[in-house]
Copies of this chain bind each other. A is one copy, B any other.
Amino acid sequence: MRILSFLWRRITALVSTVVLLLLVFALFIGWRVLGPAQQDNEERVAAKRDYLEAIASAKPVPGPNIVLVLYDDMGYGDIGAGSQGNLLTTPHIDALAANGVTLSDFHSPAPVCTPSRAGIMTGRLAPRAGLPNVVFPSGSFTEAWFKVLLGSDTPLRLPAEEITLPEVLKAAGYATGMVGKWHMGDVSPSLPNDFGFDSYFGARYSNDMKPFALYRNNEVEVEAPVDQERLTEYYTREATTFIEENANAPFFLYYAHNFPHDPLHVRPERLGQSPAGLYGDVIEELDDSIGEIVDTLERAGQLDNTLVVITSDNGPWFLGDAGDQRGNKGTTFEGGMRVPFIAHWPQAIAPGRVETAMAMGTDLLPTVLELLNLPGPQDRVLDGRSILPVLRAGGPSPHEFLYYYDSSTLFAVRDQRFKYRGPAGVKYGTDSTPVSGSIPQKEWLFDLDNDPREAYDTIVHHPEAGKRLRRAFEAKQKDMEDNLRGWR
């Protein structure tokens, strides 16, 4: 009996201790999840308003129409003309390339969706633009978990003070429309219509996130679960309708398809057509969609006067071809960040050129500013540079350096020839180990001209380049530490 009573006391003590610990843990979780949320910088929001109003009141002369096509997870090698074994055919994209310019050394601003898009839309690297990580649907378990790990105020939407491409173009008198995937926050004030789009039709995040519905502006139009076999049909119809309705005005269409991001779907008539399997079917249906957009521009008499840009937000994921490069989506090796880039604009771009000048998605906003002869904002730093001269007439990159970020960490910096990777871990694990950890590595210098696969560290042979790039790397880290958001 004494033993039983002894045990009973211990059991009750243990249970009460566990309950107490759980309670403390629940309080911590609750505080992290429900604590103060991300706040916008009202002073900068006002400065942005002033900047956009100044543009609008200067009544700038509009430039060409702009159609920016952004694919999701399309690889460097996924475009027909350069694909392996002719497994894919993309005649419409190839025709744009043949009649336009291809940049063979173009990079996404980040190796994953959200930060890449934040970089493209703002002309600023994602940590600078305040949105360095992939975001998940509001109220989802993953989002809550992010808050627990990173704090309740971790950025889950593009901050309202950021200046975006559509806002600039809208201020400059463009009709602005978006079709497709936003993925920079699914709550106000960070929805597409909050950031300068007159009209929006599409998904708020990736097609593997739930609930996957399609919105027209801020209302659900196609309820979840969307029949993704019809996604390209929906998007193409919206894109062509937008062009038809705005053919008499200068317009900006941001066509951000959810594919070829997993899961893959295609309309039944396309299924089984590509020798590259379902992935190829999807790419080929996307190419059909480009064909319809080009036809629509032609019918409207606007093709010659429209700058069409086609690119991707990062390298391929599980399927898809990164080209002859190291790694896939998620890494700052070239396979994760070097992406296709084609620009077509008959009135200003001489056809059939391939330009090797390095560039990045952050360059699009500065390029548009130059195109419309608009001033940049004076109260904040842009990381991109205009590549308009490169597009028009070739020549060197406007960048001395490009910076490769994943999340808020700078992994590499490059110039036109070399890529410096700072000392950092590189993942290693075997197919059968449940997880891969990072194994620390020394700094590496890749000679991309002679070693595009990033196989050999040649820092000993190029001490000057190593020093120059290490200095740029460290200066960038310090600069971002001192003034992350680049406020002036």
Contacts and interface: CB of A to CB of B under 8 A. Distances in A.
13 contacts: A9-B9, A84-B450, A84-B451, A275-B447, A277-B456, A277-B458, A320-B456, A331-B430, A331-B431, A336-B431, A407-B433, A427-B429, A427-B436
Number of copies: 2
Interface in A239-295: 272, 275-280
Interface string A5-40: 000011001101100000000000000000000000
A318 B453 contact: no
Contacts of A318: 426, 428, 439, 441
A477 to B, nearest CB: 14
A437 to B, nearest CB: 5
Contacts of A322: 453, 455
A319 interface: yes
Contacts of A65: none
A113 to B, nearest CB: 11
A139 interface: no
A111 interface: yes
A435 B435 contact: yes
7 closest residue pairs by CB, A with B: A85-B450, A13-B13, A321-B455, A276-B456, A407-B432, A10-B13, A330-B430
Interface in A442-481: 444, 447, 449-453, 455-461
Contact of A430 (B277, B279, B406): B406
Centre residue among A16, A276, A407 by max chain B CB count within 10 A: A276
Contacts of A80: none
Contacts of A220: none
Interface of A: 9-10, 13-14, 16-17, 75, 77-78, 84-88, 111-112, 272, 275-280, 316-322, 324, 329-332, 336, 406-409, 411, 424, 426-439, 441, 444, 447, 449-453, 455-461
Given A87-B456, A451-B85, A461-B272, A111 B430 contact: yes
Nearest to A325: B324
Given A84-B452, A427-B429, 16 more contacts: A9-B9, A75-B455, A87-B451, A87-B458, A275-B450, A276-B456, A277-B458, A277-B459, A319-B455, A322-B455, A331-B430, A408-B432, A426-B431, A435-B436, A435-B437, A436-B436
A90 to B, nearest CB: 14
A432 B406 contact: yes
B319 A457 contact: yes
A445 to B, nearest CB: 8
Centre residue among A17, A279, A316, A431 by max chain B CB count within 10 A: A431
A431 B411 contact: yes
Nearest to A283: B456
Contact of A457 (B278, B408, B424, B428): B278
A229 to B, nearest CB: 15
